[in-house]
């Protein structure tokens, strides 16, 4: 997922580019933008300034925030993202869909007023429709209602779904999906519960 910092950098760089027109001030470098951002934020609780340090993935996505990704860059991002995926150690993909629903509803975790012991949620409904009963959901991502009912529960579907949740850049470089596994947002057990929410026939997602 592109963080606020990525969009902020893209916006500042765009403004800086306009400032580089004839008769205006010199273009501002990425390093200067980062320095300004770090000077503008203060650490609070578990929210540290190192969150402003971009990974190579984030740097590439910021660089092409307003332009098409070159094929070689897209292919490299997808390759590296897929290589980062860690599949379930016991080979089992599905947990408890009831716990998965709780995770999908929860937006807690990694915020300045959380602690290291706070159990993070997935906040899935912020971007997706999942169950028919829940009427409060976002539309940044596609509807996932009937996800398993439409796709089945084959090994290929399980692996594909696991990868999309672990690090969605493997299939859609520079998309908005949080890297729930790769970024350590959710544990393996939580990922299994979300998988069950999507694929278990008894889940409200598939009713």
Question: Can you give the residue ranges of every domain in the chain?
Answer: 4-67, 97-206
Q: Which of 101, 92, 163, 111 is nearest to 133 (CA)?
A: 101
pLDDT band at 16 (very low <50, low <70, confident <90, very high): very low
Distances (CA, A) of 205 to 102, 134, 135, 179: 13, 10, 13, 22
pLDDT surpassing 80 at residue 20:
no
What's the pLDDT score for residue 25? 58
* Of the candidate ranges 1-5, 51-55, 89-93, 198-202, the one whose mean pLDDT is the lowest: 1-5
What's the pLDDT score for residue 38? 87
pLDDT surpassing 60 at residue 144:
yes
What's the pLDDT score for residue 37? 86
pLDDT band at 34 (very low <50, low <70, confident <90, very high): confident
- CATH superfamily, with its number, for domain 97-206: Cytochrome c-like domain (1.10.760.10)
Contact, 98 vs 172, CB < 8 A? Answer: no
pLDDT band at 126 (very low <50, low <70, confident <90, very high): very high
Higher pLDDT, 58 or 28: 58
CA–CA gap between residue 115 and residue 46 (Å, rounded): 6
- Tell me the pLDDT of the chain averaged across its residues: 89
CA–CA gap between residue 63 and residue 181 (Å, rounded): 24
How buried is 198 (Cβ within 10 angstroms: 0-12 exposed, 13-18 middle, 19+ buried)? Answer: buried
What's the pLDDT score for residue 23? 57
Backbone phi and psi for residue 136, each to the nearest 5 degrees, phi listed first: -100, 100
CA–CA gap between residue 166 and residue 160 (Å, rounded): 10
Per-residue pLDDT of 45-86, as tens digits, reads 999 988 888 999 999 999 999 999 999 999 999 999 999 999
* Mean pLDDT (whole number) for 134-156: 97
**Apex CA 56: angle with CA 190 and CA 111, to 5°?**
45
What's the pLDDT score for residue 30? 82
* Mean pLDDT (whole number) for 13-17: 45
Contact, 103 vs 188, CB < 8 A? Answer: no
* Of the candidate ranges 25-39, 111-125, 176-190, the one whose mean pLDDT is the lowest: 25-39
SS (H, E, C) 162-173: HHHHHHHHHCCC
Contact, 104 vs 194, CB < 8 A? Answer: yes
What's the pLDDT score for residue 10? 47
């Amino acid at each position: 997922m592109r963080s606020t910092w990525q969009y902020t950098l893209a916006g500042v760089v765009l403004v800086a580019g306009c400032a580089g027109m004839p008769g205006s001030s010199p273009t501002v470098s990425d390093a200067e933008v980062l320095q300004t951002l770090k000077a503008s934020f203060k650490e609070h609780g578990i929210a540290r300034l190192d969150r402003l340090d971009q990974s190579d993935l984030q740097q590439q996505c910021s660089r092409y925030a307003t332009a098409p990704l070159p094929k070689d860059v897209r292919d490299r991002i997808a390759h590296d993202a897929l290589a980062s995926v860690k599949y379930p150690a016991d080979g089992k993909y599905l947990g408890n869909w009831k716990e998965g629903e709780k995770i999908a509803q929860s937006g807690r975790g990694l915020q300045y007023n959380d602690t290291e012991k706070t159990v993070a949620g997935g906040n899935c409904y912020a971007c997706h429709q999942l169950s028919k009963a829940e009427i409060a959901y976002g539309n940044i991502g596609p509807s996932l209602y009937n996800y398993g009912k439409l796709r089945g529960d084959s090994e290929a579907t399980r692996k594909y779904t696991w990868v999309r949740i672990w690090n969605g850049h493997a299939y859609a470089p520079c998309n908005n999906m949080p890297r729930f596994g790769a970024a350590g947002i959710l544990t393996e057990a939580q990922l299994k519960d979300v998988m069950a929410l999507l694929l278990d026939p008894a889940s409200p997602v598939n009713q």
